[in-house]
Structure 1
Amino acid sequence: MQIILLSGGSGKRLWPLSNGVRSKQFLRLLPGPGGEPESMTQRVVRQIAESGMLENATQPSGSGIVVATSASQRDALMNQLGDRVEIVTEPERRDTFPAIALSTTWLHSVKGCSRDETVVVMPCDPYTEAGYFRTVKRMAEAVERQAADLVLMGIRPTCPSTKFGYIVPAPGAQTDILPVARFTEKPDAARAARLLEEGALWNGGVFAFRLGYLLDALKSYLPDAAGFEQVHARYGELPKISFDYEIVEKARSVAAVPFSGEWKDLGTWNALTEELVSESTGNVILGRHTENTHVVNELDLLVLCEGVKDLIVAANSDGILVCGKEHSEGIKEYVDRLNVRPMYEERRWGYYKVLGQTDYEDGHRSLTKLLHLNAGCSISYQTHARREEVWTFVDGEGLLALDGRITKVGRGDVAHIRRGELHAVKALTDLEIIEVQSGDELVEEDIRRFDWNWPEM
C-alpha cells in the first residue's frame, strides 16, 4: 500500500500562528506521546506508522508515504518529518485532482510501483484515533478484493452538519462495505437532517484505488505524457478541480467504508483549543478571575490576562489576535485583507524569525532576523543581487563558506556578506545567527543557489 498525504491550505483561520507558508498542520501545539509538542502532520505520520500500514517501508517497493504539497511548504515538511516521507511538489497550486494525479505518476515512474498497487489518499491533518487507520486498512483491503474501483471513507455523522459533503449509500446496504448511490455537497440544515434519515455519511476526504485506475484517468488530459517529468512539465494543462468533482462523482463503481470514531477538523481556534492540554502556552500569566480563556504566545514578551472570559489570545511576530471563542470562525474575512510577509518560517535547516524591519525615506531598507540552524544542517550556497547581509553568530559552532573560503565560526564572530558574494553556513551544533539585511529590496526571491559540497573537517 502507498499513502498519499495532501498538504495544502493557507491556515487563515488560525492566524497569526499560521500564514501562507506555515499552515495549520505545522503548528506544534498538540501533546505528543511523551509529552513533547507535535504538529497535526507529525501526529498523523506517527499514527500511520503505529497502525502497521508501512510494512517493508525500507524496501524500494515497500509501503510508504508521499506528501503532495506546494513549494512553499516543502521546507516545513522536511524540517518536521525528515526522511519519514517522500515529497512531491506541485509546480503551481491547482487543487486536489492535479496534485493526486502528479503523485500517482511519481509512484509509478519514479518509485516503480505497479499499476496494481493499492493507493490511499488522505488529508495530512485530521484529529482522530487508531480506529480511523484501521478503517483505512479495510478500505485498502476492499480495493484488493475488487469490491469497487474507488473506495471512500464515510464518517458516521454526529449531527446534521452543513459543513461537510455527504455520501448516500444504496438502499438496503447492510455490509461494512456500502455501495454508493449518490453524493450531496454541503446541504442546508433541513436537507442534512433528511440525509441522516437515509443513512448518509459525511465524506471524510479519504480515497482508495489501484494505481492504474488514476493513471488511466490522467490519460484523458495528457495522453502522450510518459512519466513524472513530462506530467510535471505540463502540470498547467490539467484542470484546476477537486478530486471529488473530477473523479469521485463521475466514478461508476464506488463503495464506502464507515468510520464512527473520534474525528475532528482542527481548522478554527475554537476547535483547536478544545484539544490543548494547557490553557496557556509560552510566556503567559492567567489571573485567577480568568475563565475559559486560552492563550498561545510565541513572543518573548509576557502576556497577562485577568478578568476575561471565553477568549482566545494568540500572539507571535505576525500579529496579535484577541477573539471571543464563539466568533473564531469569522477571522478569515479579516485575514484575507492582510498582505504582509511571513514573520516566522520553518525551513529544512531550522527556522527564522523576523525581529524588526525599517523603511527609510530615501528608499533604503533594513531587516533583522534570528536564524536557527539545527545541528548538521546547512543553508545553501547562494548570492543576493539587491542586498548585503551582516551575520553575527550568537550561539553554537559552525562553518562559514565565503567565496570558496571556509572558516570555523562561533559565538561573537561577525561576517559581512556583500552583494553578489557567494556564501553558505553549516551548523556543527545548533547554531543561532542574527542576520541584518540592508538594501533597496528585501525579499526572499532575491536569491541564486549554487552547487556546493562541504569538505570533511
Structure 2
Amino acid sequence: MKLVLLSGGSGKRLWPLSNDARSKQFLKILEDKNSNLQSMVQRVWNQLKTAGLEKSTVIATSQSQIEMIQSQLNEEADLIIEPNRRDTFPAIALAASYLYTNKNTDLDEVIAVLPVDPYVDAGFFNRVKDLEKAIHETGSDLVLMGVRPTYPSEKYGYIVPKKKVNELAETIEVARFIEKPTEEAAKELLNQGALWNCGVFGFRLGYLIQLLEGKQYPVQYEELLENYNKLPKISFDYEVVEKTKKITALPYEGYWKDLGTWNTLTEEMATNQIGKGIISEDSMNTHLINELNIPVTVLGIPNAIIAVSPDGILVSDKEKSPKIKEIVGNFNDRPMYEERRWGWYRVLDYAKYDGNQQVLTKRIGIHPGQNLSYQYHLARKETWTVLKGEGIVALNGKLRTVRDGDVLQIQVGDKHAIKAITELEIIEVQAGTELIEEDIVRLCMDWIEIEDICYSKL
C-alpha cells in the first residue's frame, strides 16, 4: 500500500501564525514526548515511522510549502509539487500519475489518501493499513475511514450507512454524505450509525488511472504536470467520491480531532503560554502564543486566544475564533515569517517611498552547514550585516570569511551567496524598485558547485 498525504491550504484559519507559506500543519505549538515543541506534520511523520509507513508515503504539496516541509522533516519525505493550487482532485490525480509512471506502482496497489495534519493516537495509522484489506475483501471502488462519533457535532461531515449496522461491524456500506448538519440532525445521524468523515480513503491505483483516462486527462506524470492548469479546480469529494457507486466505510474507534481552528487547537496544547508575556490568574482558559521578542500582558480576559506574530495580532474569544477566516480571507500581504530548508527569515520593516523606491529589512538565520543560493538581482541592491556567527560569502566569483560585525554591499547584478559555518544571523536590507521573488535569478544551490565556480575564477 502507498500513502499520499495532502498538504495544502492557504493558512487563514489560524491567522496570524499561519500564512500562505506556513499553514497550520507547520506551527510548532504541540509538545512531543520529550516536551519539545513540534508541528502537526512532524507529529504525523513520527507516527508514520512508528507504524512503518514512512517509506511508502509521498506528500502532495504546493510550491510555497516545499522548503518548510523539507526543513521540518529533514528532507526525508518524497514530495510531489503542484505547479499551483487547484484543490484536492487535481492534487490526488497528480500523485496517482507520479506513482504510476515515476514509481512503477502496480495498478492493483492500494493507495490511501489522508490529510497531513490529523490529531490522532498511534492506532489510527494501524487502522489505515486495514484499508488495503477492505478494498480486496469488499470489491469496493472506494473505502473510506470514518470516526465513530462521540457527540452530535455540527463541525464535521458525516458518512451515512445504507442501513443501521452493529457497532462491531468491520465495514459499512455507504449510502450518502451529509456536510455539517445542525445539532438536531446530527443526533439523528448518530442514531443511524453515521460516522464522522475524517478525509481518509483508499482505492486501487488502477481505478483512478482508468477514471483519468475516461475523462481524457493525461496519465503520464510529466504530461499531466504540463497540463495541470486544464484540470478542474474541484475537490476529490465532489469529482470522484460522490459519483462512485460502490463505497464502503471502515469505522475507527480511537481518538481523532481536526485541529483546524484556534479553539480546537488550544485544547491540545500542553501549556497556556508560548513566548514572552504574562497571563493573569483571572484570565482562565486563555492561551497566549507570542512569536515576537516583546512582552504581552493579558489581564482579566478569560476564554480567549491571543496570538502575536510578525504577520499580525489576534485577540479573540475562543468560541468566535473560527470566524477569523471570513475576516482575513482577502488579506494578500507577503508572509512576514518563513521557515526554509536552510533556516528562517523574519521581515522587520517595509517602506515604500516616492518614485516606487522600496526598502525591506529582514533578519535571517542560517543553520550550520546550510547556505543561500548563488544568485543575482535585476532591480535591487542589498546590504548584509553579520549579527552573530561565522560564514563564507561568495561574491562575484570570490570567497571570503565573514564574522559578527562584518558588512557587505551587494549591488544590482552582483552574484552572491553565503554559507554558515556556525549558527549565523544577518540583517539584510533590500533597496530597489522590485522587491519580489521574481527579481531573484538563481544560478545554483549546491555549495560545492558554488565553490567550483569561485575557484575557477582564480
Same fold (TM > 0.5) = yes
Q: Structure 2 counterpart of 1:106, which letter?
A: Y
Distance in 2 of aligned mates of 1:389 and 1:12: 31
Unaligned runs of 5+ in 2: none
1:153–1:314 distance in 2 versus 1, CA, 3 Å: same
Q: Does the residue aligned with 2:439 lie in a helix, a strand or coil? A: coil
Q: Which residue of 2 aligns with 1:305?
A: 298
Instruction: Trace 1:341-360 onto structure 2 (pairs within 5 A).
Output: 341-360=334-353
Q: Does the residue aligned with 1:454 lie in a helix, a strand or coil? A: helix
1:123 pairs with 2:123 = no
Q: Which of 119, 132, 143 is the equivalent residue of 2:135?
A: 143
Unaligned runs of 5+ in 1: 58-63
1:292–1:186 distance in 2 versus 1, CA, 3 Å: closer
- How far residue 144 of structure 1 moved from its aligned partner, in angstroms, is 4.1
Q: Structure 2 counterpart of 1:181, which letter?
A: A
- How far residue 307 of structure 1 moved from its aligned partner, in angstroms, is 2.6
- How far residue 82 of structure 1 moved from its aligned partner, in angstroms, is 2.3
Conservation of the 8 A alpha-carbon contact between 2:364 and 2:428: yes
Q: Which residue of 1 aligns with 2:254?
A: 261
Q: Structure 2 counterpart of 1:97, which letter?
A: F
1:436 pairs with 2:429 = yes
Moved beyond 4 Å, runs of 4+ = none
Distance in 1 of aligned mates of 2:179 and 2:269: 31
Conservation of the 8 A alpha-carbon contact between 1:173 and 1:179: no
Distance in 2 of aligned mates of 1:308 and 1:190: 32
1:194–1:308 distance in 2 versus 1, CA, 3 Å: closer
Distance in 1 of aligned mates of 2:52 and 2:60: 22
| TM-score between both structures, scaled by the size of structure 1 | 0.93
1:256-288: CA deviations, max 9, x gaps?
Answer: 110122111111111111111111101112233
1:135-157: CA deviations, max 9, x gaps?
Answer: 10111222244542211001112
1:340 pairs with 2:336 = no
Distance in 1 of aligned mates of 2:440 and 2:308: 30
Distance in 2 of aligned mates of 1:2 and 1:143: 13
1:199-250: CA deviations, max 9, x gaps?
Answer: 1111110011121211111112345x35211010011121211111111112
Q: Which residue of 2 aligns with 1:322?
A: 315
1:66-87: CA deviations, max 9, x gaps?
Answer: 1111111111111111232111
Say which is worse superposed, 356-365 or 22-31, in terms of deviation. Answer: 356-365
1:277 pairs with 2:273 = no
1:130–1:226 distance in 2 versus 1, CA, 3 Å: closer
Q: Structure 2 counterpart of 1:238, which letter?
A: L
Distance in 2 of aligned mates of 1:124 and 1:33: 20
Q: Which residue of 2 aligns with 1:198?
A: 192
Q: Does the residue aligned with 2:203 lie in a helix, a strand or coil? A: strand
Conservation of the 8 A alpha-carbon contact between 2:212 and 2:219: no
Q: Does the residue aligned with 2:349 lie in a helix, a strand or coil? A: strand
Q: Which of 71, 81, 88 is the equivalent residue of 1:89?
A: 81
- How far residue 362 of structure 1 moved from its aligned partner, in angstroms, is 4.1
1:119-176: CA deviations, max 9, x gaps?
Answer: 1100001111112112101112222445422110011122232332221223254431
1:300-344: CA deviations, max 9, x gaps?
Answer: 001122232222111111111111122111222221243321110
Instruction: Trace 1:114-263 onto structure 2 (pairs within 5 A).
Output: 114-145=106-137, 147-171=139-163, 173-174=165-166, 175-223=169-217, 225=218, 227-263=220-256
- How far residue 24 of structure 1 moved from its aligned partner, in angstroms, is 0.6
Distance in 2 of aligned mates of 1:343 and 1:17: 10
Conservation of the 8 A alpha-carbon contact between 1:289 and 1:308: yes
Q: Structure 2 counterpart of 1:5, which letter?
A: L
Conservation of the 8 A alpha-carbon contact between 2:119 and 2:257: yes
Q: Structure 1 counterpart of 2:435, which letter?
A: L
Conservation of the 8 A alpha-carbon contact between 2:209 and 2:219: no
Q: Which residue of 2 aligns with 1:61?
A: none
Q: Does the residue aligned with 1:10 lie in a helix, a strand or coil? A: coil
Conservation of the 8 A alpha-carbon contact between 2:164 and 2:193: no
Distance in 1 of aligned mates of 2:366 and 2:158: 46
Q: Structure 1 counterpart of 2:378, which letter?
A: A
Say which is worse superposed, 435-444 or 175-184, in terms of deviation. Answer: 175-184
Distance in 1 of aligned mates of 2:46 and 2:356: 49
1:143–1:178 distance in 2 versus 1, CA, 3 Å: same
Q: Does the residue aligned with 2:123 lie in a helix, a strand or coil? A: helix
Q: Structure 1 counterpart of 2:177, which letter?
A: F
Q: Does the residue aligned with 1:329 lie in a helix, a strand or coil? A: helix
- How far residue 6 of structure 1 moved from its aligned partner, in angstroms, is 0.4
Aligned residue pairs, count: 448
Distance in 2 of aligned mates of 1:429 and 1:447: 26
Q: Structure 2 counterpart of 1:389, which letter?
A: E
Q: Which residue of 2 aligns with 1:35?
A: 35
Q: Which residue of 1 aligns with 2:25?
A: 25
Distance in 2 of aligned mates of 1:106 and 1:258: 29
Conservation of the 8 A alpha-carbon contact between 2:44 and 2:118: yes
1:337-389: CA deviations, max 9, x gaps?
Answer: 43321110111211100111222234322111011112222211212112110
Q: Which residue of 1 aligns with 2:438?
A: 445
Conservation of the 8 A alpha-carbon contact between 2:161 and 2:175: yes
Conservation of the 8 A alpha-carbon contact between 1:5 and 1:122: yes
1:296 pairs with 2:292 = no
1:199–1:241 distance in 2 versus 1, CA, 3 Å: same
Q: Does the residue aligned with 2:249 lie in a helix, a strand or coil? A: strand
- How far residue 407 of structure 1 moved from its aligned partner, in angstroms, is 1.7
Q: Structure 2 counterpart of 1:401, which letter?
A: A
Q: Which residue of 1 aligns with 2:362?
A: 369
1:337–1:244 distance in 2 versus 1, CA, 3 Å: closer
Q: Which residue of 2 aligns with 1:455?
A: 451
Conservation of the 8 A alpha-carbon contact between 1:388 and 1:418: yes
Conservation of the 8 A alpha-carbon contact between 1:222 and 1:231: no
Q: Does the residue aligned with 1:13 lie in a helix, a strand or coil? A: coil
Q: Does the residue aligned with 2:356 lie in a helix, a strand or coil? A: coil
Distance in 1 of aligned mates of 2:281 and 2:178: 48
